[in-house]
A and B are shown apart, each in its own frame.
Chain A
Amino acid sequence: MSAETTPSDAFLELRDLRIHFPTDDGLVKSVDGLSFRLERGKTLGIVGESGSGKSVTSLGILGLHNRKNARVSGEIWLDGAELVSSTQEYVRGLRGKRMAMIFQDPLSAMHPYYTVGNQIIEAYRVHHRVSKAVARKHAIEMLGRVGIPNPAQRVDDYPHQFSGGMRQRAMIAMALCCDPELLIADEPTTALDVTVQAQILDLMRDLQRDFNAALIIITHDLGVVAELSDDILVMYGGKCVEYGTAENIFETPEHPYTWGLLGSMPRLDRESTERLLPIKGSPPSLINIPPGCAFHPRCSYADRTGGKGSAEVPELSEVRGGHKVRCHLPANERHAIWESEIKPVLEAQ
C-alpha cells in the first residue's frame, strides 16, 4: 500500500484487492483487482460460478489466508482502518468481533467434538472477559434468537445431534454472538434442503435488520441474492464483470455472463418442459486465465467485438448511475442484444 492512499469513508471498501497463490503449476490469480463499497445495513450479493474467487475474497476480508502461501495486495478498509497492511494480530482481534462469517456446510464447519454451546461460548469469550456462566446465558439467548426451540437444552447438544437447518441456525448464532458489524455468509443455504433455505434466508434478513450489520452474501444462486441483496456483484475469473443494484442486474443486465446466469436460474413458475439456458463451456482455469476478456471463449457475442475479445482486458466502465460492466461490446449493441435476443427468451420461459 502506498503512503498517499486516502482512508476510505465507506464502512467497508475494497480497493484493487488481489489474492494470488503461487503454486508449482503457476500463479493462481483467484482474486485479481476487486473493488467495491458497502455501507452498514446494506447487503451485497457476490455471485459467480465455482472458482470465480467469491470465497477467496471473503476469506481475504477476514484475513484468513495463510500469508505463507497467499499473496494479498490492495486495500481493505473497514470503518477507517486498512486491514491488508495491518498486523495479523490486529485483524485477529477484529475477527469474530467486528466481522464474522457464516460458512457453507455447518456440519463440517463446526467442531464435532465440542457441544454447540461450547463453541458459541468460546466465540463470545474470545472477545469478552466474562465468566463461562455469563457466556453460556448469552449463548442460550443467541440460540433462542435464531429460532432454535428449547435453547437451554439444545445448548449442550453436539452438532451431529442438530438437523441441517438447526445447525445453520446455530452457526448464525455463533457468528452473531459478538454483535459483528460486518457479516459474510458464504453459500449459507447451499448445503440445506430447499424447504429450509427460505427459512434461513428470512432469518438472515430479519437479523440483519436487527443488528444493522453490513451483509455480504456469497452464492452461485441468483435466486438467493434476489431475495436479500441491495447490490449485486457478478464475479468471473477473479474479476468483477458486472456491478449494480439488484434492480439493475435483474431488469437491465449488461454482461453476457449475467445473461447466462439469469438464463440458467431454475424457477418454479416455469413450465417443466422448457429448458434452462445453460452457459456453454466451463469456468476458466485461474492459472491460465484466457487472454483478453476472461469470458470470451464462452461468450456467444465475442465475434462482435472486432477481435478485442481475446486481445484486450475490458475495463470496468460505468453504464449509468453506479451500474458498471466489464465488456467490450458497445453499449448500444448490448442493449439491442438484451432487448431482442435475451429478454424475450427469459420472459417466454
Chain B
Amino acid sequence: MVTYLIRRLIGAVIMLLIVSMATFAIFFLVPQIAGATPEGMASRYVGRTASAEDAKIAADRLGFNDPLVVQYGRFIKGIVAGAEFDYGPGVEQCPPPCLGYSFITRQPVWPDLLDRLPVTLSLAVGAAVLWLIIGLSTGVISALRRGSVFDRAAMTLALAGVSLPIFFTGLISLLVFSYGNPFAVFAQGGHYTPITENPGEWAYNLILPWITLAFLFAAQYARLTRAGMLETMGEDYIRTARAKGLIERTVVVKHGMRGALTPIVTIFGLDFGLLVGGAVLTESTYSLPGLGKYAIDAITNNDLPKVMGVTLLSAFFVVFANLIVDLLYAVVDPRVRLS
C-alpha cells in the first residue's frame, strides 16, 4: 500500500514534468521553429512603440536568448526553490512555488492563481452537488421505470443536455433569467462574492453558472446511471437479493445502486478534477474570474508564465484526482487490490 502510494506519487511528478515540458515547448519552441527570433518574441511584451533596442533588452531580461534547456531549468528551479526577478528598477523576490511573473502585468503568477482558485472551486463544488443529486436520481428512476413517460422525457432532456454546448445554454439562460423580463431573477454574471464575505450573495451570483454547468453533467450522469442501473438490476445477485425476501427498496438501494454507482465514483473524480482546473466555457460565458477565464486571457495575451502556471495547476488537479479515485476505488470495490 505504502509502496503503491510512493510509486503513484513519483508517477504523478513525472506526469507533471512532462506536461510542463510540453507546454514550454509549445510556447517557445514552436514559434522559433516557425522563424520567430527572441527579439521578435520579446517585442510583444514591450509595446508597439518600442525600438529594436528595447526589444533586445527585453529579450535579454526575459531570458529569451538563453538555450531553451536553461530557460526550462530556471522555471523548474523557481517552483522548487523560488527565484529572483530583475525587471529593471529593482529585484523582486518570488518565493517557492514560484511560477514566474506575468510578462505583461508583472504580477507574480502564483498569488494570482490562489486568487482565482476559490471562484472555480465554488463553481465546481456547487455544480457537482447539483448534478450528482439530479443526475443520479434521474438515472435511477429512469432505469426502474424504463419506457415510462418519465424515462422518455428525462432521456430526451438528457440528450439535449449532452448535446448543447455551455456557451449556448449559458447565453440562453442569461437571456431569459438575467436580462429577460419578467424572469430576470438571477445575477447578470461577472460578479463574484467570496463565500466568507456574504454567503447569500455568493450563491445568488453563482446559481445560474451552477445550473448551466450542472445541466451538462447531470445529463451525462443520468445516462450513465440509467445504463448502470439497468445492467446491475439484471445481475444474478439482484435475483438472489429478491430470493432472500428483501423488500424491493432494499434490493434497489442496497444491492442495485451499490453496484451501479461504484463506477460513477471514478468518472466523478476525473470530471471534478478537470473542472477545478478551470471551467473554461462556463467562466467565460458568465465572466467569472476563475482559473478557466484566467487561462483564456493568458493564452490570448501570449503571457507564457501565466499559461504555464494555470496549465500546471490544472494538470496537478487532474493527476491528483486520478490518484484519489484509484485509492477510493480500492475502498468501494473490495475486489480491487492496490499493488
Interchain residue pairs A-B with the least CB separation, the first 9? A96-B245, A95-B245, A96-B244, A108-B236, A123-B244, A111-B237, A109-B236, A158-B334, A101-B243
Interface residue tally of chain B, by bracket?
Answer: 20 to 34
- Add 10 more A-B contacts to A113-B334, A123-B244 (CB < 8 A): A92-B245, A94-B245, A103-B236, A109-B237, A109-B239, A112-B333, A122-B244, A126-B244, A126-B246, A160-B335
Q: Which residues of B contact A103 (CB under 8 A)?
A: 236, 239-240, 243
Q: Report the Cα distance A113→B241, complex, angstroms.
A: 13
Q: Is B86 an interface residue (CB 8 A)?
A: no
State the Cβ distance, A40 to closest chain B Cβ, in Å: 20
Q: Is A110 an interface residue (CB 8 A)?
A: yes
Within 8 A of B (CB), among A98-121: 100-101, 103, 105, 108-115
State the Cβ distance, A137 to closest chain B Cβ, in Å: 19
Q: Report the Cα distance A114→B242, complex, angstroms.
A: 16
Q: Is B269 an interface residue (CB 8 A)?
A: no
State the Cβ distance, B264 to closest chain A Cβ, in Å: 14
Q: Report the Cα distance A165→B240, complex, angstroms.
A: 18
Interface residue tally of chain A, by bracket?
Answer: 20 to 34
Give me the interface of B with A, judged by CB distance under 8 Å.
Answer: 235-237, 239-247, 255, 258-259, 262, 332-335
Q: Which residues of B contact A110 (CB under 8 A)?
A: 237, 240
State the Cβ distance, A130 to closest chain B Cβ, in Å: 15
* Complex contact A62–B237 (CB within 8 A): no
State the Cβ distance, B211 to closest chain A Cβ, in Å: 33
Q: Which residues of B contact A158 (CB under 8 A)?
A: 334-335
Q: Which residue of B lies closest to A104 (CB)?
A: B236
Q: Tell whether A92 pairs with B247 under 8 Å between CB atoms, given A103-B239, A103-B240, A109-B236.
A: yes
* Complex contact A93–B259 (CB within 8 A): no
Q: Is A311 an interface residue (CB 8 A)?
A: no
Q: Which residue of A lies closest to B335 (CB)?
A: A160
* Complex contact B240–A113 (CB within 8 A): no
Q: Report the Cα distance A105→B236, complex, angstroms.
A: 8
Q: Tell whether A108 pairs with B245 under 8 Å between CB atoms, given A113-B333, A158-B335.
A: no
Q: Which residue of B lies closest to A157 (CB)?
A: B334
Within 8 A of B (CB), among A196-219: none
Q: Which of B244, B259, B333 contacts A174 (CB 8 A)?
A: B244
Q: Which residues of B contact A108 (CB under 8 A)?
A: 235-237
State the Cβ distance, B253 to closest chain A Cβ, in Å: 13
Q: Which residues of A contact B246 (CB under 8 A)?
A: 96, 122, 126
Against B, the Cβ 8 Å flags (1 = close, 0 = not) of A273-305 are: 000000000000000000000000000000000
* Complex contact A95–B243 (CB within 8 A): yes
State the Cβ distance, B295 to closest chain A Cβ, in Å: 39
Q: Report the Cα distance A59→B240, complex, angstroms.
A: 11
Q: Which residues of A contact B237 (CB under 8 A)?
A: 108-112
